[in-house]
């Protein structure tokens, strides 16, 4: 379909909070000094609705905002699984083996998404047996073999020779989402992460860099954190104190060789090693600044061509992940300040739910009003759910709020019923779409690809083209492993790349 050279992965509960976030990421991808080996640009996860005092540590500042500064000064930050812009080249192997010619020239408007040949190839690529004879999940795409497929994928990419960048804008959070609010939810999340991190990864080989793109205006800067000298002084002083403590334990063990002295020595030794392994994050933390205004000016002058951008939004359960929220996440991405003809949003519904499909059919209709409204009013919070829940929607925005409330009520009625009845289907085209859902179950169904918006033909109420919006539910069979979120992302990567080459 579009095969954009840049891919943004978003969890369904993590919406865009800054419409120029793609331009910030491109400030790094278009830098010839780092672009040849740059795999991804990772933005921090920021959260709304935390309980008072964040008593369960749901914000995880150290994981998502503090430690990544230090990792950025080393080989690069890990992949958080969401709020991450990938170079498509990095998903196809080490830097020298990565394809560089075809993808960089693709414009999303060049491919007729609704053509029969393109949709046929998309269905084939979304099949659960497609990757059996390929290296998907091993050396191609998002990697299998771990419950934390995001971290594992980033680790494997860095082992292959790729680098990454951490981008934490100071002006406003680029993305916002919902954090676990209860102790049970926090424990379940940490259990999954811990199990995945302790799985044994497969070995990979490092490689050199591909060719460098042409030079251009400076789009970003970086410098060492002001506390770097204090951090290093603290490391040396603390290390001296630990050595003194371990020496004392050793002396006590020699003078009184009892079990308690040995246990104290072993305990302090383990804690000292844990502390030592974490000091890499503090050795060389970096602070970065992007200049998206310079990129916008260069693009307007024609000296820089903005590449196509594909946004992947993943969901799996309409009852745990409300379809209204998922649709709002996709709408916030569709409302990026980015050329509509080069922007495509792909939704992976791993639950194969007609409720999710209904939500996105309605979202496609609402986008015709929401996107020009955001441009006209200069709104920064472009998730309609977050925008109206924050108290906006009075005065001159009452009309758009009424349209949104009709959408929300319609979707919530379907969720309460558990199915989409005839009263919720308003057009023959929608009725024909839902005919595809007969006799399907969540774990046993064919691939379903539905083009909801095509930028080459669909426009908003102001007459401007709309971004592409594609719904995909990959094929699932009980006898074939589906590899969870990594498998869903790989189905999206294949579906929007291979059929464009065939076309």
Given a contact cutoff of 8 angstroms between Cβ atoms, the answer to whether 331 and 299 are in contact is: no
Given a contact cutoff of 8 angstroms between Cβ atoms, the answer to whether 503 and 118 are in contact is: yes
Distance from C-alpha of 118 to C-alpha of 109, rounded to nearest angstrom? 14
321 belongs to an annotated ligand binding site: yes
- Between helix 484-495 and helix 149-159 the angle, nearest 10°, is 60
Q: How far is CA 102 from CA 4, 88, 305, 501, in A?
A: 10, 11, 16, 9
385 belongs to an annotated ligand binding site: no
Scan for tokens 């349209």, then name that residue: 403
CA-nearest of 466, 467, 475, 479 to 495 is 475
DSSP string, 29-71: HT-TTTGGGEEEEEPPPEEESPPGGGTT-TT-HIIIIIHHHHH
Q: How far is CA 304 from CA 217, 271, 297, 301, in A?
A: 10, 51, 9, 8
Given a contact cutoff of 8 angstroms between Cβ atoms, the answer to whether 476 and 482 are in contact is: yes
Distance from C-alpha of 8 to C-alpha of 345, rounded to nearest angstrom? 9
Q: How far is CA 95 from CA 75, 138, 208, 249, in A?
A: 15, 16, 6, 49
Tokens, residue 288: 């970065």
Burial of 205 (0-12, 13-18, 19+ CB in 10 A): exposed
Q: How far is CA 404 from CA 137, 215, 267, 332, 368, in A?
A: 39, 45, 58, 14, 12
377 belongs to an annotated ligand binding site: no
3-state secondary structure of 470: strand
What residues form the annotated binding site for UDP-alpha-D-glucose? 320-321, 350
What residues form the annotated binding site? 320-321, 350
């Amino acid at each position: 379909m579009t095969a954009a050279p840049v891919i943004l992965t978003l969890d369904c509960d993590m919406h865009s909070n800054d419409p120029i976030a793609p331009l910030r990421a491109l400030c790094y991808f278009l830098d010839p000094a780092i672009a040849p080996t740059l795999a991804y640009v990772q933005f921090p996860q920021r959260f709304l609705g935390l309980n008072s005092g964040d008593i369960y540590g749901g914000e995880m500042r150290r994981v998502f905002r503090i430690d990544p500064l230090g990792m950025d000064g080393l080989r690069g930050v890990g992949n958080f699984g969401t709020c991450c812009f990938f170079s498509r080249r990095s998903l196809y192997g080490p830097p020298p083996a990565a394809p560089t010619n075809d993808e960089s020239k693709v414009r999303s408007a060049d491919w007729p998404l609704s053509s029969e040949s393109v949709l046929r190839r998309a269905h084939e690529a979304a099949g659960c047996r497609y990757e059996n004879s390929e290296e998907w999940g091993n050396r191609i795409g998002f990697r299998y073999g771990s419950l934390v497929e995001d971290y594992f994928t980033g680790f494997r990419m860095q082992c292959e020779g790729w680098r990454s960048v951490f981008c934490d804008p100071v002006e406003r959070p680029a993305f916002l989402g919902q954090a676990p609010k209860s102790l049970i939810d926090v424990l379940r999340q940490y259990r999954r992460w811990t199990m995945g991190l302790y799985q044994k990864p497969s070995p990979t080989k490092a490689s050199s860099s591909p060719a460098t793109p042409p030079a251009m205006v400076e789009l970003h800067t970086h410098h060492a954190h002001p506390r770097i000298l204090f951090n290093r002084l603290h490391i040396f002083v603390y290390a001296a104190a630990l050595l003194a403590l371990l020496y004392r334990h050793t002396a006590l063990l020699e003078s009184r060789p009892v079990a308690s002295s040995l246990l104290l020595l072993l305990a302090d030794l383990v804690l000292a090693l844990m502390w030592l392994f974490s000091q890499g994050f503090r050795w060389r933390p970096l602070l970065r600044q992007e200049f998206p205004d310079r990129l916008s000016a260069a693009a307007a002058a024609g000296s820089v061509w903005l590449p196509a951008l594909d946004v992947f939004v993943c969901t799996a359960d309409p009852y745990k992940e409300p379809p209204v929220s998922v649709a709002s996440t996709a709408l916030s991405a569709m409302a990026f300040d980015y050329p509509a003809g080069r922007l495509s949003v792909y939704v992976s519904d791993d639950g194969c739910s007609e409720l999710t499909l209904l939500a996105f059919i309605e979202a496609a209709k609402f986008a015709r009003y929401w996107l020009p409204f955001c441009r006209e009013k200069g709104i920064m919070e472009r998730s309609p759910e977050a925008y109206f829940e924050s108290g906006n929607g009075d005065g001159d925005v009452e009309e758009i709020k009424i349209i949104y409330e009709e959408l929300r009520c319609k979707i919530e009625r379907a969720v309460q019923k558990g199915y989409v009845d005839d009263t919720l289907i308003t057009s023959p085209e929608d009725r024909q779409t839902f005919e595809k859902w007969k006799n399907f179950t969540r774990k046993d169904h064919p691939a379903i690809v539905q083009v909801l918006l095509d930028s080459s033909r669909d426009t908003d109420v102001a007459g401007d083209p709309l971004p592409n919006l594609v719904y995909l539910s990959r094929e699932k069979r009980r006898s074939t492993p589906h590899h969870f979120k990594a498998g869903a992302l790989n189905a999206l990567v294949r579906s929007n790349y291979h059929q464009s080459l065939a076309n």
